[in-house]
Structure 1
Amino acid sequence: MADPTPLLPHSTSSDLISTPPISLDSVIERVTANSAWPQLLQAFLVSLSWFFDGQQTFITVYTDAEPTWHCTEHPNTTCRPTSNICDLSTSTWAWDKPSYTTIISDFNLQCATPLISCLPASSFFFGCLLGGFVLATLADSSLGRRNLLFLSCFTMCVASLITAFSTNVIVYAAWRFVSGFGRASVGACALVLSTEIVSRKLRGRIGIAGFLCFSFGFLSLPGIAYVNRYSSWRTLYVWTSVPGISYSVLVFFFASESPKWLFTRGRKDEAVATLGRLGHNNNSSLNLYLSGIPLLEESQEVNLFSSLKILFEKKWAFRRTLALMVVGFGIGMVYYGMPLRVGNLGFNIYLSLTFNALSEIPSFALVFFFIGKWNRKSSLLTFMMISGVCSIMCVVVSSKWKALQIGLEIVSFFSANTAFSIIMVYTLELFPTCVRNSATSMVRQGLVLGGIFSLVISAGRNYNEFLSYGVFGVVIICCGVLVLSLPETKGLALCDTMDEQERKEVADSINTIMLN
């Protein structure tokens, strides 16, 4: 091996070191050690995309809500508050609010089958599912994290704006599908990009900051919907999409690409320039830091599914991805299912969703302050078990105890939300740079698939609590068992290639055996 000493310039600058770091992760650590503000501003800009993601994910809670109605004839023998609206003459009843407030009354879907009434929300999640497979690998291959974040967020918000002009439920569902397709990579790109530009010490907390933005986006919906409760459902899409489009433009012009991704793609000069902006280091120092790290072989393979091929051709990576997707499926059943179905518990739809959204803030605060101390496996398993038990208890508790039911529902959602945060950070640490975005997106696919199934099993007006909260609880508990098959990653450095990840884990295993 060549002596690294000749690589040193004659300068005695304090930026220089006697031996170049042995990994790109150590370069990030050194460059960003004393320059937190540029990293934090960049991470905040990127993480803000979660805000609009949260709005588009749960907006159908209000736009697709089942509106209330009242009898118009008094006294009468045919119309009663408990009557089936589909069995009544249209002259005997009327909506409590203007018909344009939700798509159900606007498109006359009050007697439609559950398949039709749930079509828009399901289309959105199916779009997320397809978009995750098609778009996710582009962040690891040709487009990069920043460009895909812009493309995804812009597509999601433009499709949302066009949704406001839908003329029927089919057109409406089609544009929801397009919005979901674009949305699929927003969270994964934002999470990976924001955590790849900061030091190991800040990585967990920066990741959680993105989830907090999602919570604020989620929390903004009840307020926007309440202010516009007598306005058209189309107004909600305009209010949420226009700011998102403006934000996408800011990302395109002001967000920086991940230096780790640039380096793995062989674009060393751009990586040096980005690190210089983030860490206030001169280019000669950065070139010195990077001189001991060879350009990665994976940078030569660039196509739509190259990163998925790399991810799945290794048995250990495939097993790890599959286990995380199953775990994510269980979390997604509760995380997406409960807010979308919480109106069925008979509570005020504005208050019930506000309580769910508010529960996310202490959840993220908890993870933010303790993620550095928690073991990933045990904490993830614990919160999944708590969520499952509380979800099942929602069924066990009598419907007469509505306050207790909503309390259990909030605790279950809180725990699922905490598990959501942990599994996303956990996934970042389990995979190297060359497949990290693809792996994160695959886990999000498991979460979305859980959301789709939660809508299917709880659809319809003949609402059955066991077919929602009971199943949610059983599934998340069963899926949580697979956490035991995954390795612990707390405090470990991020790797850049599959080979580096394998060598590191073999070395860690040997060290563990020797210590025992």
Structure 2
Amino acid sequence: MRGYDESVAFLGQWGPFQQAVFFLLCATIVPNGFGAFTLVFLTDLPSHHCAVPDVNLTEDWLTAVIPRQFDLVCSDQWKLTFISTVFFVGVFLGSFVSGQLSDRFGRKPVLFATMAVQISFTFFQVFSTSWIVFLVLLFINGLGQISNFVAALVLGAEILTGNVRVLYSSMGTCLSFAFGYMLLPLCAYFLRDWKSLLLALSLPGLAFLPLWWLIPESPRWLLSKGRVEEAESIVRKAAKWNKVQPPAVIFPDYAVNIKADPKDRHSALDLLRTSSIRVTTLVLCLVSFAACTGYYGLSLNTSRLHADPYVSCFISAAVEVPAYVSGWLALRFLRRRRSICFTLLLEASALFLIQLVPQNLPHLSIGLEMLAKYAVTVTFSMMFAYMAELYPTLLRNTAVGICSTVGRLGNCIAPFLVTLNIYLRHLPYIVMGTLAFGAATSVLFLPESFGKPLPETIHQMQKRERIRCPCIPGGEARVPVELQDGPL
């Protein structure tokens, strides 16, 4: 049976249709960049005193001189860290649910539903009357955060083919995220009031509504559901955009295959059903957890990079640009396992070396921290593309969503992790470095996907399993004979 890539090869890889899908989906990811790190400024501590001496000051004078904005200082300062954790718990739950909804109802509806949640509840936060209301709205906002990113990533990875898919899955999506991240300190610098900042970050989201009529559903997903006519309709429109002539029947083999196996249904349990897929899923969960913990831990620790928090945030965001370019080049020319293992070891080495830097060399510590941020960002950018390449269409978004969900546990602990330095100065770096080293070792047990087409079925995923034993040079663990490639 011909694969999807072969069936749509007549479209080419970079026609007007692919260009529109590429840039429109990238545009939907930009709000995630500033949405994920808005808390850096929303939870920033202003200059204050925890007690004002009683010198016969009137209540009216105190109210006029001392701004309250929820008064989250001194004995209530713990609420700032709690706010960040509640947001990331929302991200955690959203990642878990959205992946399964996307595999059941389609990539496009979930993409726009999570965008709507993200945009609307960012706007509703402006009208919060207490920190409890703000907390609830922020939690719901978190449900849409990153879920939009994952849905857009999978949708583009399934529509685009060849080198364009690799470019989109790595540098395209991640640079869009970084662009939004770099816009954040610029907006925050000119809009010092938190309500004005949230308005500025939410209202432009209305411009994304017309994209519903421009971004198509994933033909791969439609084929996996047996909706061959709808998939062919999308591809024929793409052919018209690209000014090429489609064949009379684009997916004849898919129609036969679906009719022959009408009971082919899968669930999240399939990610743990066989030993080879179970190992792949568990390792990816571990790597995602380590990458998210390191990425958000270092990103939320930007206040120590520079006296000006706006400069600190911009430096942290700017480091991501060369990291995403490096990630794309690695995906384009290098094997996935070796590249991810190397970047995780680089992150771990930089974090461990920070402990050896004397206190009178703060710039060297900052340089090592930025090297670690660069390394974990490269890992982060490669992991989404790698996960999408390993799983079949029917499970792809569920798999990416669940692995991302486990990774979001790292998001939840990151706000507390960066505060561990009150007990031991370098404890956050030790924890993140240890996680990175453990993840680097586990990556060696993953199969390689470099230069291979996306699997359409679980059997195709199993067929290319090659779990090497890291302790034996060139060694491979045995897999069932019927799952091996090539003639018997």
Matched, 1:52 2:31: yes
Alpha-carbon distance between aligned partners in 1 of 2:195 and 2:292, rounded to the nearest angstrom: 27
Aligned to 2:472: none
Verify: 1:153 aligned to 2:132, yes or no: no
Contact 2:300 2:418 in 1 (8 A): no
Instruction: Measure the CA separation in 2 of the matches of 1:375 and 1:91.
Output: 70
Shift of 1:340: 1.0
Cα distance in structure 2, aligned partners of 1:38 and 1:337 = 39
Q: TM-score, normalised by structure 2?
A: 0.88
Q: Is the 8 A contact 2:336 2:449 kept in 1?
A: yes
TM-score between the two structures when normalised by the length of structure 1: 0.83
Q: Distance in 1 between matches of 2:150 and 2:322?
A: 22
What residue is the counterpart of 2:439 in the other structure? 479
Corresponding position of 1:180: 142
Displacement of 1:369 after TM fit?
3.2
Name the structure 2 match of 1:191. Answer: 153
| One-letter identity of the residue aligned with 1:207 | S
Aligned: 1:140 with 2:103: yes
| Corresponding residue of 1:468 | 428
Cα RMSD (Å) of the superposition? Answer: 2.9
Matched, 1:25 2:25: no
Equivalent residue in structure 2 for 1:311, among 271, 275, 285: 271
Distance in 2 (CA, whole Å) between partners of 1:488 and 1:295 is 27
Is the contact made by 1:273 and 1:283 (CA closer than 8 Å) also made in structure 2?
Answer: no
Moved over 6 A (4+): 90-95, 281-284, 506-509
Tell me if 1:236 matches 2:201: no
Contact map agreement 1:25 1:495 (CA 8 A) in 2: no
Which residue type is aligned with residue 238 of structure 1? L
Question: Is the Cα–Cα contact under 8 Å of residues 311 and 318 in structure 1 kept in the other structure?
Answer: yes
Among 285, 297, 314, which residue is 1:337 paired with? 297
Contact persistence 1:47–1:194 (CA under 8 A): no
Query: Within 5 A, what are the aligned runs for 1:60-459?
Result: 60-69=39-48, 85-86=49-50, 89=53, 106-113=69-76, 115-142=78-105, 144-208=106-170, 209-229=172-192, 232-247=193-208, 249-280=209-240, 285-286=246-247, 288-293=249-254, 294-296=256-258, 307-344=267-304, 347-459=307-419
Aligned residue type for 1:182 = G
Distance 1:368 1:50 in 2: 17
Distance 2:307 2:481 in 1: 55
Q: Are residues 504 and 323 of structure 1, via their aligned partners in 2, closer, same or farther at CA, if it must alter by over 3 Å?
A: closer
The structure-2 alpha-carbon separation of the partners of 1:358 and 1:166, relative to structure 1 and needing over 3 Å to count, comes to same
1:178/1:372 Cα in 2 relative to 1: closer, same or farther (>3 Å)? same
The structural deviation recorded for 1:344 is 4.1
Pick closer, same or farther for the CA change 1:282–1:499 going to 2, 3 Å.
farther
Amino acid at match of 2:89: F
- Distance of 1:139 and 1:399 partners within structure 2: 50
What CA deviation, in whole Å up to 9, does each residue of 1:309-366 have, x standing for no partner? Answer: 3333333223211110111111111111111122145632111111110011111112
> Structure 2: how far apart are the matches of 1:211 and 1:68?
35
Q: Could you say if the C-alpha distance between residues 31 and 300 of structure 1 is closer, same or farther in structure 2, counting changes exceeding 3 Å?
A: farther
Residues 379-423 of structure 1 deviation map (CA, whole Å, 9 limit, x = unaligned): 001111111221233333234322222211111111100000111
Shift of 1:41: 1.2
| Amino-acid identity (%) | 25
Q: CA deviation at 1:246?
A: 2.7
Hey, what's the Cα distance between the residues in 2 that align with 1:298 and 1:466? 56
Deviation at 1:298, TM superposition (A): 8.1
1:92-128, Cα deviation, whole Å (9 max, x unpaired): 9999x9866xxxx511111135642212211111001
Unaligned residue ranges in structure 1 (runs of 5+): 1-20, 70-84
Q: Distance in 1 between matches of 2:71 and 2:427?
A: 27
The secondary structure found in structure 1 opposite 2:149 is: helix
1:235-261 deviation line (CA, Å, top 9, x unaligned): 1111111112331x1332221001100
The whole-number CA distance in structure 2 between the counterparts of 1:156 and 1:361 is: 24
| Range moving further from structure 2, 55-64 or 491-500 | 491-500
What is the deviation of 1:457?
2.4
Give the CA deviation at 1:131: 1.3
**Match in the other structure for 2:448:** 488
Q: Matched residues in 1 for 2:373 and 2:54: separation? A: 39
Task: Output the amino acid matched with 1:47.
Answer: C
Find the aligned partners of 1:400 and 1:168 in 2 and give their Cα distance: 43
Is the CA contact 1:333–1:476 (under 8 Å) kept in the aligned structure 2? no
Q: Are the equivalent residues in 1 in contact too, given 2:221–2:394 (CA < 8 A)?
A: yes
SS of the residue corresponding to residue 66 of structure 1 reads: coil
Paired with 1:433 and 1:356, the residues of 2 have a C-alpha distance of: 35
Whether the 8 Å contact between 1:343 and 1:349 is mirrored in structure 2 is yes
d(CA) in 2 for partners of 1:34 and 1:346?
Answer: 44
Could you tell me how far 1:33 is from its partner in structure 2? Answer: 1.9
- Report the CA distance between 1:27 and its aligned residue: 1.5
* Alpha-carbon distance, 1:464 to partner: 4.7
CA distance 1:341–1:92, change in 2 (3 Å): farther
Cross-structure match for 2:477: none
Alpha-carbon contact 1:264-1:295 (below 8 Å) kept = no
- Partner amino acid, structure 2, of 1:314: T
